[in-house]
């Protein structure tokens, strides 16, 4: 078959379709969604000649395996992993030509968490509210991949990039340093609670997902104990639930919440948060 589509042979732990998301709908209760590491997704797209906002596959820890029905240029980036075409090793972080009917295997991440598989033409599922992204919280967009699913591909937008030498992919963090600005509910914690948050001693929890990065460590002490009415939440909000373990809201976060937000993470640091494996040390760095 020569139709422009790709069949899913092994879906992996959680593989979803992602682009740059659907910002601007928070007032309707719709999260932004989109690639958790947008820089990695954009670079993979550029390598295969796509626009940066084309839809890609985002894998989680265990990779995936797909079989294009037509010859297509593919780039695998994000979390480093082994790549193979019909069992033969292929390049990671560079454009690779995959013949129609061949099996592209994206292996388990050797470091980091999320890999990005860009195919020339992009994944051409129907957009919802202007985006092809899977939103695991609201259920908008295509469902997470399952074995046997078939995804359409768009027409190639341009030639693959010429790669001379290694592409400078950012390495997954050994220590995750998150720049933060205190507020809007910093006063609920007082100086002691803010010092606790900034003093370190946190690690990424295995309970993290596309909705939020959960960290384990010392609980910021609250000076106000009353209930907080539900209010709007933004990308990067550091919410402190009753168990005291901070949660950093990622792309699929709820648009409202009733637990106090002690700080907000600089959006430029959230790509690294997407690649922080469970157990990675976390440090909050107050910004001036």
DSSP the chain: --SSEEEEEE--SS-EEESS--TT-GGGT------SSHHHHHHHHHHTT--TTS-EEEEESS-EEEEESS-EEEEEEES-EEEEETTEEE-SSS-EEE-TTPPEEEEEESSSSEEEEEETT-B-PPPBTTB----TTT--SSPPP-TT-EEEB----SPPPP--S---PPPPPSSEEEEEEE-SSGGGTHHHHHHHHHT--EEE-TT--SSEEEEESPPPPPS--S----EE--TTEEE--TT---EEE-TT--SEESS-EEEEE-GGGHHHHHT--TT-EEEEEE--
pLDDT at 169: 85
**Domain spans of the chain?**
5-152, 176-286
Task: Please write the tens of the pLDDT for every residue from 223-250.
Answer: 998 989 999 999 999 999 999 999 999 9
Q: How confident is the model at residue 61 (pLDDT cuts 50, 70, 90)?
A: very high
Task: Please write the tens of the pLDDT for every residue from 175-220.
Answer: 999 999 999 999 999 999 999 999 989 999 999 999 999 999 999 9
User: Does the pLDDT of residue 2 top 60, yes or no?
Assistant: no
Rounded to an integer, the average pLDDT of 261-284 is 97
Q: How confident is the model at residue 165 (pLDDT cuts 50, 70, 90)?
A: low
Rounded to an integer, the average pLDDT of 143-162 is 94
pLDDT at 1: 42
Secondary-structure class of domain 176-286 per CATH:
mainly beta
User: Does the pLDDT of residue 78 top 50, yes or no?
Assistant: yes
């Amino acid at each position: 078959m020569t139709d422009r589509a790709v069949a899913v042979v092994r879906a992996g732990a959680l593989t979803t379709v992602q682009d740059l998301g659907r910002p601007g709908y928070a007032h309707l209760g719709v999260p932004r969604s989109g690639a958790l590491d947008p820089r990695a997704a954009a670079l993979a797209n550029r390598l295969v000649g796509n626009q940066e906002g084309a839809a890609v596959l985002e894998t989680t820890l265990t990779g995936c395996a797909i079989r294009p029905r037509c010859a297509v240029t593919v780039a695998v980036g994000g979390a480093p992993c082994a790549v193979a075409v019909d069992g033969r090793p292929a390049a990671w972080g560079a454009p690779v030509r995959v013949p129609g009917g061949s099996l592209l295997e994206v292996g388990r991440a050797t470091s980091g968490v999320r890999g990005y598989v860009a195919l020339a033409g992009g994944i051409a599922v129907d957009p919802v509210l202007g985006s092809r992204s899977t939103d695991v919280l609201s259920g908008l967009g295509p469902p997470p991949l399952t074995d046997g699913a078939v995804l359409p591909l768009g027409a190639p937008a341009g030639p693959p990039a010429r790669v001379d030498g290694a592409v400078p992919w950012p390495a997954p963090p050994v220590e995750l340093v998150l720049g933060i600005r205190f507020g809007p509910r910093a006063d609920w914690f007082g100086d002691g609670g803010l010092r606790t948050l900034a003093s370190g001693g946190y690690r990424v929890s295995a309970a993290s997902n596309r909705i939020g990065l959960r960290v384990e460590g010392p609980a910021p002490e609250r000076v106000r104990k009353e209930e907080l009415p539900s209010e709007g939440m933004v990308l990067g909000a550091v919410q402190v639930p009753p168990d005291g373990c901070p949660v950093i809201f990622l792309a699929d976060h709820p648009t409202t919440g009733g637990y106090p937000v002690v700080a907000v993470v600089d959006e430029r640091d959230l790509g690294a948060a997407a690649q922080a494996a469970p157990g990675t040390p976390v440090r909050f760095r107050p910004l001036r």
